[in-house]
């Protein structure tokens, strides 16, 4: 199955966007503090316009857009969407027009002078940004814009929330294969992988990948949406479709093992949480690693909580997947600078 999966990934149409393999590094500070063996998969270093997990998914998704003859790519998300920024960068690289539908948020951008973080980068990367109401369904907004583009003679290609389709998840099947190969090279046997889960494609791709490669690794998603049932459902749906695309036999063994850690998202999606911010400070000061307040900081706070509660065996080997998002720090700088200002 392992060779078949690698061959499938190599055969599948893909555009080259990222620096891979991304490093798998020992997290010395955190490991020493808790007497554990913790590694970090540096997908914040995928390379495209400050990196992140979505670039892996876009390698497969945008190959389809090009094959279909699209000239305009539409996607969206929150105002500080990392997915939107990486899509804007990929489109700039591939010569495609990019339109982003971004949900309004007073918390991170009161007016255009406050344009910062990912939103500033969307502008520099040449994307057209449109604000949509937070209550509007993203799919409906994108369908309306696609209609407009077609009516004007363009050829739109819509990427749904987070590029979390089976095609997008193939990017994380590749990441699973990298982790397995790198761990083998380092003489490690990972037992747990931690990842932030929102639209679900990253966790689903990792789970399908480990299953296809015969690697017995528990993949723990951390809900960052403050809506764990929905996040779990999204991961389950993308997992089922990805398994089908990969041709994995039988019912998923992993569906029943789908693990979603809850209680770390704070009040709502897009709102920093105290434990997540504390995790950001700890990793920055203790390991020289920058995390972000909406995804990776919250995911790291879940890992730290489990370390604090001694939920691992001494023989366990933990891999934290750093999915990027650091440009978001600059939009949320007030969450970190108030202490210093006093
Ligand atoms: C930095 C970061 N980490 C994790 C995620 C979650 O990935 P997924 O949407 O595939 O669940 C996202 C999604 O936008 C993200 O930007």
Could you report the average pLDDT of every consecutive run of 10 residues in the chain (342 residues)? 82 96 98 98 98 98 98 96 98 98 81 84 97 94 98 98 98 98 98 98 97 96 97 96 92 74 95 97 98 98 98 97 96 78 44
End of a domain among 111, 146, 163?
163
Give the residue whose CA is nearest to atom 1 of ligand 1: 325
Output the pLDDT for position 1.
66
CA of 222 to the centre of ligand 1 (A): 10
End of a domain among 163, 178, 199?
163
Range of the domain at 149: 54-163
End of a domain among 163, 193, 228?
163
Contact 104, 132 (CB under 8 A): yes
In the residue annotation, 31 being an active-site residue is answered as no
Residue 135: is it exposed, middle or buried by C-beta count within 10 angstroms (0-12/13-18/19+)?
Answer: exposed
For residues 147 and 194, state if they share a domain.
no
Tokens representing residue 76 in the block: 């969206």
Tokens representing residue 187 in the block: 């003489």
The H helix count followed by the E strand count for the chain is 13, 10
Using CA atoms, how far residue 234 sits from 159, 193, 288, in Å, is: 16, 19, 33
For residues 122 and 175, state if they share a domain.
no
For residues 81 and 150, state if they share a domain.
yes
Sign of CA dihedral 322, 324, 330, 332: negative
Contact 164, 133 (CB under 8 A): no
CATH of the domain at 59: 3.40.50.1100
Output the pLDDT for position 341.
46
Out of 55, 81, 105, 197, pick the active-site residue.
81
Number of folded domains in the chain? Answer: 2
Give the residue whose CA is nearest to atom 4 of ligand 1: 196
For residues 42 and 58, state if they share a domain.
no
Give the residue whose CA is nearest to atom 16 of ligand 1: 82
Output the pLDDT for position 338.
66
Tokens representing residue 246 in the block: 């990969």
pTM of the complete model: 0.96
For residues 32 and 20, state if they share a domain.
yes
Residue 178 and residue 91: Cα distance in Å, rounded?
25
Contact 176, 213 (CB under 8 A): yes
Q: Which residues contact 278 (CB under 8 A, 6 or more apart)?
A: 301
CA dihedral in degrees (204, 240, 67, 57; nearest 10)?
A: 0
Output the pLDDT for position 97.
98
Residue 211 and residue 206: Cα distance in Å, rounded?
8
């Amino acid at each position: 199955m392992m060779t078949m999966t690698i061959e499938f990934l190599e055969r599948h149409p893909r555009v080259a966007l990222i620096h891979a393999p991304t490093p798998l590094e020992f997290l010395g500070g955190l490991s020493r503090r808790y007497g554990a063996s913790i590694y970090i998969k540096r997908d914040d270093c995928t390379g495209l316009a400050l990196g992140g997990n979505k670039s892996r998914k876009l390698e497969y998704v945008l190959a389809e857009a090009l094959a279909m003859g699209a000239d305009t790519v539409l996607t969206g998300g929150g105002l500080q969407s990392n997915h939107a920024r990486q899509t804007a960068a990929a489109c700039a690289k591939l010569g495609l027009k990019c339109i982003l539908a971004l949900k309004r948020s007073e918390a991170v951008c009161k007016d255009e002078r406050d344009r910062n973080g990912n939103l500033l980068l969307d502008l520099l990367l040449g994307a057209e940004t449109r604000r949509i109401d937070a209550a509007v369904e993203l799919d409906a907004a994108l369908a309306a814009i696609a209609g407009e583009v077609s009516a004007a003679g363009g050829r739109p290609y819509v990427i749904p929330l987070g590029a979390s389709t089976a095609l997008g998840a193939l990017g994380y099947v590749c990441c699973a294969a990298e982790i397995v190969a790198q761990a083998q090279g380092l003489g490690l046997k990972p037992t747990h992988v931690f990842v932030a889960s929102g639209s679900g494609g990253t966790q689903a791709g990792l789970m399908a990948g480990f299953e296809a490669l015969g690697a017995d690794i528990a993949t723990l998603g951390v809900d960052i949406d403050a809506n764990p049932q929905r996040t779990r459902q999204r991961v389950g749906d993308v997992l089922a479709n990805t398994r089908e695309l990969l041709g994995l036999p039988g019912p998923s063994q992993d569906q029943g093992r789908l693990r979603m850690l809850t209680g770390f998202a704070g009040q709502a999606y897009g709102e920093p949480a105290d434990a997540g911010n504390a995790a950001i400070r700890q990793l920055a000061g203790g390991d020289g690693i920058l995390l972000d307040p909406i995804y990776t900081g919250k995911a790291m706070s879940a890992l730290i909580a489990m370390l604090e509660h001694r939920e691992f065996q001494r023989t366990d080997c933990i891999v934290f997947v750093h999915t990027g998002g650091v440009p978001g720090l600059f939009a949320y700088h007030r969450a970190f600078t108030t202490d210093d200002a006093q």
